[in-house]
Amino acid sequence: MFPIHARAITVRRRGRDLIGPLDLSLEGQGVTIVIGPNGAGKTTLLRALHGIERLSKGEITYASPRPEALAAQAFVFQSPVIMRRTVRENMAYPLSLRNMSKSEISSRVDEVAERVGLTFALNRPARVLSGGERQKLALGRALTLRPELLFLDEPCASLDGRATREIEDVLNHEISRGRRIIMSTHNMGQARRLAQDVLFIHKGQIHEAAPADQFFTAASTDAARAFLNGDIVE
């Protein structure tokens, strides 16, 4: 499905451009971290690339046909969507939509639950899980689809240090398996730990796109340097 090309894309709502117009190409392996001030357009960009945000202008193309490319992606939202079912049923739901056999679904759920550390909770109601466990559930549900590309929208925003570390452990395992990840975060420590390359978004535009080591040591724009210094960026 790679490369992905976004050409002159704009998302406009209520007379205001949330992002764009912007151009972007994403290729290869690794982790792209999307950072920027609150309201910069990070979530909108991720949703647009994933195909769930209607574009006002421009187009996004993939190396494979669009339906095939979208089927090879998964998205984890900042606030997990949890159904009133058991953990197992929550994780199995997207697989049931693909008409997989019950035995194959069960096997895949067991496999992924072990990877994300939720085997102990498979038969519990999902709504009794802690915040960190809910995020693991959302991540595990996405991983049952075995996506080539995984979008994560600030998955650790409301988690404590321990839960964040556990989520990062899962992500590092997926990275080692060749999973392509595009993730927004407000946590610069997390960005430094995970990123291979960085997109800095400001006022709906990509102000800077660079390898992580280059960005964090020698950001080229005033806005990016101010953001990294913890200054208010307007």
Q: Is residue 234 part of a domain?
A: no
Give the per-residue pLDDT at 234.
85
Q: Which residues lie closer than 8 Å to 6 by C-beta, 6 or more apart?
A: 22, 23, 24, 25, 48, 49, 58, 59, 60
- CATH number where 158 lies: 3.40.50.300
pLDDT at 29: 86
- Asked whether residue 92 is domain-assigned, the answer is yes
pLDDT value at position 103? 97
The yes-or-no verdict on residue 226 having pLDDT over 90 is yes
Owning domain of residue 39: 4-228
**Helical packing angle, 102-116 and 161-176, nearest 10°:** 120
Residue 48 makes CB contacts below 8 A (sequence gap 6+) with 6, 9, 11, 19, 55, 60
Percent of the chain predicted with pLDDT > 90: 96
Give the model's pLDDT for residue 47: 97
Task: Reply yes or no on whether the pLDDT at 1 is more than 80.
Answer: no
Residue 186 domain flag: yes
Q: Which residue has the tokens 């392509």?
A: 180
Q: Which residues contact 160 (CB under 8 A, 6 or more apart)?
A: 132
Instruction: Report the pLDDT averaged over residues 92-97.
Output: 96
Please give the DSSP secondary-structure letter assigned to residue 125: B
Q: For the chain, how many structural domains are there in total?
A: 1
Alpha helix stretches (DSSP H) within the chain: 42-50, 66-71, 87-96, 102-116, 131-143, 161-176, 188-194, 212-218, 222-228
pLDDT for the residue numbered 145: 97
233 domain residue, yes or no:
no
Residue 17: what pLDDT? 96
CA gap 22, 90 in Å, rounded: 36
pTM of the model: 0.96
In which element (H, E) is residue 233 found?
none
142 found inside a domain = yes
Query: What's phi and psi for 35, nearest 5 deg?
Result: -130, 165
The distance of Cα 41 from the centroid of its chain, to the nearest Å, equals: 14
pLDDT digits (tens, 9 = 90+) for 188-222: 999 999 999 999 999 999 999 999 999 999 999 99
pLDDT for 44: 98
Q: Decide if 26 is inside a domain.
A: yes
* Whether pLDDT at 28 is above 90: no
pLDDT tens digits, 41-92: 999 999 999 999 999 999 999 999 999 999 999 999 999 899 999 999 999 9
Sign of torsion over alpha carbons 28, 29, 30, 34 = positive
pLDDT score of 112 more than 90: yes
In a domain, 140, yes or no: yes
Q: Do 9 and 20 meet the contact criterion of CB atoms below 8 Å apart?
A: yes
pLDDT at 161 over 90: yes
In a domain, 103, yes or no: yes
